[in-house]
């Protein structure tokens, strides 16, 4: 048994992403981007088995080279795929919020609330920044906005309590 069974092995994940991007570049393909869809699917099904994940990855790689599989998958109606993606991305957002709650992020602080409000909307709301022939959008733009907001919004001073006034 490994010495730290709870260690997710982020270093191996990064190495795998690097190797996959290198192989894709050798074949003339684009670099890969790791998303959290698998996390959402695992949470949805409640089943996590590394061996099953490995076989799934091998099948996905093999299926990528079989044109008939791609043609079959392209016959799935857009609304069906849209429904699946809404469920999947909703689970990803839920997992992110769950992590913030587990780490006891104080959402009564204006800084945290502003970041929580702005980042998801900028990521999924179609916001983009054109830079020449390139557009910065989606996850990349949301991540940059989150980092910038975290840097520029001041931390509250110790002892400052949020003032809440209610007029009726």
69: pLDDT strictly greater than 50: yes
Instruction: Place 52 in a pLDDT band, splitting at 50, 70 and 90.
Output: confident
- Who has greater pLDDT, 1 or 50? 50
Residue 132, CA distances (Å) to 36, 83, 129, 139 in order: 29, 34, 10, 19
Lowest mean pLDDT across 17-26, 90-99, 107-116: 90-99
Q: In 3D, which of 94, 83, 4 has the Cα closest to residue 42?
A: 94
- Distance (Å, whole) CA 3 – CA 80: 43
144: pLDDT strictly greater than 90: yes
**Planar angle of CA 16, 53, 94, nearest 5 degrees:** 90
Instruction: Place 129 in a pLDDT band, splitting at 50, 70 and 90.
Output: very high
Do 92 and 39 meet the contact criterion of CB atoms below 8 Å apart?
yes
161: pLDDT strictly greater than 70: no
138: number of Cβ within 10 Å: 15
């Amino acid at each position: 048994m490994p010495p730290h069974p709870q260690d997710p092995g982020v270093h191996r994940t990064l190495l795998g992403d690097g190797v996959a991007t290198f192989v894709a570049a050798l074949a003339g393909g684009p670099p890969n981007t790791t998303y959290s869809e698998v996390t959402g699917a695992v949470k949805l099904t409640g089943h996590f088995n590394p061996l099953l994940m490995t076989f799934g990855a091998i099948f996905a790689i093999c299926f990528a080279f079989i044109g008939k599989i791609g043609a079959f998958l392209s016959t799935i109606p857009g609304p069906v795929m849209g429904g699946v993606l809404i469920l999947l991305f909703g689970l990803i957002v839920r997992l992110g919020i769950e992590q913030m709650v587990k780490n006891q992020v104080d959402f009564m602080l204006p800084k945290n609330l502003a970041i929580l409000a702005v980042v998801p909307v900028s990521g999924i709301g179609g916001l983009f920044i054109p830079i020449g022939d390139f557009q910065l959008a989606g996850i990349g733009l949301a991540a940059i906005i989150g980092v910038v907001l975290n840097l520029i919004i001041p931390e509250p001073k110790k002892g400052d309590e949020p003032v809440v006034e209610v007029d009726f």
